[in-house]
Structure 1
Amino acid sequence: MDTIEIVGLIAATLTTSSFVPQVYKTWRHKSTRDISLTMYLAFLVGTILWLYYGIEHGSLAIILANAITGILVIFVILLKLRY
């Protein structure tokens, strides 16, 4: 694995893990009042497009980051629709 892919994996870990506190807080408090559904829907579309881009370029960092982020974003959207 080359150095730039390692940098990408570190960046992917940091940016993807930044969603975990929001998901946890939303799930724990059962409140989504201050979360913008429009923002999360737009973000999900962007994440899906980045995932496609990563697949086309064969970039493990982009694929992992956007697959995991997409799952977390979908979870927040589902919580927003539920609460």
Structure 2
Amino acid sequence: MDWREVIGFIGGFLTTMGMIPQVWRLFRMKSAHEISISFSLLLNTGIAFWLIYGILHGRIALILWNGIALILGLAMFYAKMKWGR
């Protein structure tokens, strides 16, 4: 693995892990009023496109971290639908 791939893994790790405190808070507080529906939809759509891009180009870092980010983003969307109206 060359240094450029390592940079991708580190960047993906940091940005994806940055979502965990927000998702954790949403489920702990059972409140998602502060999350906008348009943010959630745009975020998940963007992540899905990055995941597809990673798959098409065979980029493991993009596939791994965007797959995890999409799961977290969908959890955020679920929380918004359940507790954010």
Q: TM-score interval w.r.t. the shorter chain?
A: over 0.9
Question: What is the one-letter code of the residue matched to 2:52?
Answer: Y
Matched ranges for 1:1-83 at <5 A:
1-83=1-83
Q: Which runs of 5+ in 2 are unaligned?
A: none
TM-score (norm 1): 0.97
Question: What is the one-letter code of the residue matched to 1:21?
Answer: P
RMSD value over aligned CA atoms?
0.6
Could you tell me the percent identity over the aligned residues? Answer: 40
Q: Secondary structure at the match of 1:35?
A: coil
Distance in 1 (CA, whole Å) between partners of 2:80 and 2:46 is 19
Aligned residue pairs total 83
Question: What is the one-letter code of the residue matched to 2:7?
Answer: V
Q: Which runs of 5+ in 1 are unaligned?
A: none
